[in-house]
Amino acid sequence: MLDVGALPKAELHVHIEGTFEPELIFEIAERNRITLPYRNVGELRKAYDFKNLPSFLDVYYAGMNVLQIEQDYYDLTIAYLRRAAEQNVRHAEIFFDPQAHTLRGIAFDTVIEGLRAALRDGERELGVTSSLILCFLRDRSEESAMQTFDSALRNCDRIVAVGLDSAEIGNPPSKFASVFERARAEGFHTVAHAGEEGPPEYVWEALDVLKVSRIDHGVRCMEDAALVERLRRERVPLTVCPLSNVRLKVVPDLAHHSLKRMLDAGLAVTVNSDDPAYFGGYVAENYARSAEALGLTDEHLLALARTSFEASFIDDGERRRLLAEIPAARFEGASAQWPAAGCAQRLA
């Protein structure tokens, strides 16, 4: 197997709050004089035994409560970027959940200023380019999402897209039709978690109602042949997160994961880490363990890395430069589908 740690790649599905390692949770809690309901890192890690997505989200939201000031958000983000750089992630499009912070009294600007300062240093010192995807919490109201979007519009540098995450079942994409329409009108790309725990119908809705240009997870599309055909024909990228799907019991184990079947069906699949601090691996571990369990070839791994750049929200010059770093990449295949968007485009 080729060295997946050295393979140049983009990471397109990582929640910054899901990169919060237990050691850093304790360090920041102490700094902010917050007492955690766990005595030490070992005890906290023992809570990382999830039966489904909602049971994970309880622990995930509890962990991020210790984040209070800009420096905390900076430390969280630079720690992720260091790990990413070690695994030759050349470009990262990073989700953040502003409502998980603003709803407990932290200002939107505190969150984004901390994140942005780290992205700048990550680019300068580590050579990892990056942008942000603002996720709306789908188990909250659309009105709350709309208020969040208003805050973001006032301070949106680095935000290239909006997304949709949190508890999927019972919260279909159509609930957020208006805020996504507004985001598109303001020049942002759109993505949505769909078909992780929720049914294939949610993937259809994300495409038809939210008009997303990527589907996050989407693994349940394989239950619907017409949907697979649509995704293949339109070459809609899917940001698949194999270790997450195992830890959240979407699949029983990696050997039963649909990643290889998705590749064989001609889908534009990428591999990502989702919430690496909670799911036992960063992006390279997701590549390596999937390859091992499913018998992926070097060609499969190269295709995954290529698709990660093709599906990135970067301009075409940058895409070509990054694709050129992949051994044996065929540059003619590089797509020009996704021009730069978000603030840069809006302010131009």
Residues that bind Zn ion (CB under 5 A): 274
- Selected binder of ligand ADE within 8, 18, 173, 195 (CB under 6 A): 18
Lay out the site mask for ligand ADE across 251-290 (x = CB under 6 A, - = otherwise).
-----------------------xx---------------
Query: Residue 11, interface with ligand ADE (CB under 6 A)?
Result: no
140 binds, among Zn ion, ligand ADE, none (CB under 5 to 8 A by kind): none
Cβ distance 22 to 277 under 8 Å?
yes
Is 196 known to be catalytic? yes
Q: Of 21, 70, 93, 196, which residue is the catalytic one?
A: 196
Query: Residue 244, interface with ligand ADE (CB under 6 A)?
Result: yes
Closest distance of CB 215 from ligand ADE, Å: 12
Crossing angle of the two packed helices 200-208 and 225-233, in degrees rounded to 10: 40
Q: How far is residue 123's CA from residue 80's CA, in Å, rounded to a whole number? A: 13
Burial pattern 129-147, b for ≥16 Cβ within 10 A else e, equals: bbbbbbbbbbbbeeeebeb
Residue 199 φ then ψ, to 5°? -75, 165
- Selected binder of ligand ADE within 88, 166, 272, 273 (CB under 6 A): 166
Closest distance of CB 131 from Zn ion, Å: 16
User: 199: helix, coil or strand?
Assistant: coil
28 binds, among Zn ion, ligand ADE, none (CB under 5 to 8 A by kind): none
Chain position whose Cβ is nearest to ligand ADE: 165
Q: How far is residue 328's CA from residue 313's CA, in Å, rounded to a whole number? A: 23
Query: Residue 72, interface with ligand ADE (CB under 6 A)?
Result: no
- Selected binder of ligand ADE within 9, 15, 116, 300 (CB under 6 A): 15
Q: How far is residue 9's CA from residue 12's CA, in Å, rounded to a whole number? A: 10
Q: What is the largest CA-CA distance in the chain?
A: 55
Cα 61-187-100 angle, rounded to 5 deg: 10
Q: What letter represents residue 259's amino acid?
A: L
196 binds, among Zn ion, ligand ADE, none (CB under 5 to 8 A by kind): ligand ADE
The sign one gets for the Cα dihedral 305, 89, 237, 275 is positive
User: 188: helix, coil or strand?
Assistant: coil
Closest distance of CB 328 from ligand ADE, Å: 32
Query: Residue 53, interface with ligand ADE (CB under 6 A)?
Result: yes
Q: How far is residue 296's CA from residue 298's CA, in Å, rounded to a whole number? A: 7
Closest distance of CB 239 from ligand ADE, Å: 11
Contacting residues toward ligand ADE, per CB under 6 A: 15, 18, 53, 60, 165-166, 193, 196, 244, 274-275
Which residues are part of the catalytic machinery? Answer: 196
